[in-house]
Each structure stands twice: as structure tokens, then as C-alpha cells.
Amino acid sequence: MHLIIVGAGRTGKHVIQEATKDGHDVVVIEKEEKVAGWAATHYDCMVIQADASSMDALKEAKAEKADALIATTNDDAVNMLVIMLGKELGIKRLISSVTDEGHIRLFEQMGVDTVESPFRLNGQYLYRAVQRPSVKDFLDLGGGAEIIELTVKKNSPIAGKLIKQLHKENLLPKDARIVAVKRKTDIIIPEGDTALLEGDLVAVLSKQGATEELVHVFK
């Protein structure tokens, strides 16, 4: 994927690290000269020292072929302007951090795919939003294991099925277990006879994390 990451600070550097480690084509736009220089010497990616709220900077980053734009600065006004420009340029996925949680709704109204608050943000959340957009949240347990939240979609092969059927029909990976189901305002501790319904938010414990095999059955 061609990813444009705006900001190489506390949050941005974690996104850059994960994205370059996975071999994506990464372009970083960072305004501060010292921070831009540090990113250029520590990561295998193109670094543009410029103000990302400039259309020229995004065009230099080849926005026309970008799969995602990830804004990670600590200035909500800058992130918002960057997202607006990205939308104008037709970038497919728009992802942003937000410093003031009161601004989250504004970002959502702009069509941002994922907005994350820095109170729980470590960079992985923003990168995961690019990798697996259907994953609502996750908790890294170490060793590759994660607890992942996924929503049951209308046409999902597991919609309407009992949990015991999922294992019998091998619909879930062998190393995955459903540990909780949120249905509207109710939290359900699932048993074999618990049915999964369209719209349920399901917490899954997976030893291998959010694999494509696991995510696919919820779509």
C-alpha cells in the first residue's frame, strides 16, 4: 500500500515503524526540520519536510495513488485541514488522531474513517485501521495474541448461527474463541447456545491476532 503519514512525533513514529516494517510504500510529511531529519535516518521511507496543510506537499507525496492518509499531529486544526485536502484529492481512506475528544464528532462528519483519541493512542490503533478497517478495537496481549472487537454484518456467514455451530462447521479459526458479545446496551457472556445476530459487537480472543481468516467471517 502507498501510505501518507502526516507527523513523525510521538504517535506518528509508531505508525511509521509499523508500516515500514510491513514493507509498505510510506511517505512522511513532517514540518519540523529536526524531527523530519530523525525520521529520515531511522526509517526506510521518503520524508518530506513541509507543512502538510499545503496541497503542494500532499501532491509531492503522490496523493493521487495513496491508499490511505494518516494524520497524527497534536493539532486538531492541522489534522482537520489535512483530512479536508486528502478528501479533495480523492484519497480512499482518511484516518486521524484527535487531541480534544470534543472534536471527534466533527471529524466523523467530515467522513474520516477512523478517529482515535491520544488518551489511549499508541500508534498501533491508527495503523490497524489501515490494515483491518473492520476491526473496531483490539488489545495486544503479547506473543501475537489479541482480543479483537468485530461487528457481525448482515451477510456474514456467522450471522444467525449458534456459537457451537461456528466450531462444528469450522467457521472460526481453531485458535480463536468468542469471549463476549455486546448487543445494543447488553453485554452477553456467550455459551454454546448463544446466537450471533446482525449488529452484534463481538470480542474474540485470537492467538494469532486479527488474521484475514478471522476477519473475513464477520464481513
Same domain, 126 and 157: no
Q: What pLDDT is recorded for position 134? A: 60
Q: Which amino acid, 93? A: R
In what helix (H) or strand (E) does residue 205 lie, and over which residues does it extend?
strand 201-206
Same domain, 26 and 117: yes
Q: Which of these, 198, 211, 203, 201, lies nearest to 153 by C-alpha position?
A: 198
Same domain, 125 and 178: no
Q: What pLDDT is recorded for position 100? A: 81
Q: What pLDDT is recorded for position 137? A: 59
Q: What pLDDT is recorded for position 114? A: 65
* Strands across the sheet containing 186-188: 135-142, 145-151, 201-206, 176-183, 186-188
Same domain, 105 and 185: no
Same domain, 64 and 26: yes
Range of the structural domain that residue 104 is part of: 2-131
Domain endpoint, select from 88, 111, 131? 131
User: What is the CATH classification number for the domain harbouring 151?
Assistant: 3.30.70.1450
Domain endpoint, select from 131, 160, 184? 131
pLDDT tens digit sequence for 116-145: 655 455 566 666 667 665 666 556 667 778
Q: What pLDDT is recorded for position 140? A: 62
The domain total for the chain is: 2
Q: What pLDDT is recorded for position 84? A: 93
Instruction: Flag residues of the chain having pLDDT under 70.
Output: 114-129, 131-141
Q: What pLDDT is recorded for position 185? A: 87
Q: In angstroms, what CA-CA distances link 32 with 35, 49, 75, 94, 145?
A: 5, 7, 14, 23, 36
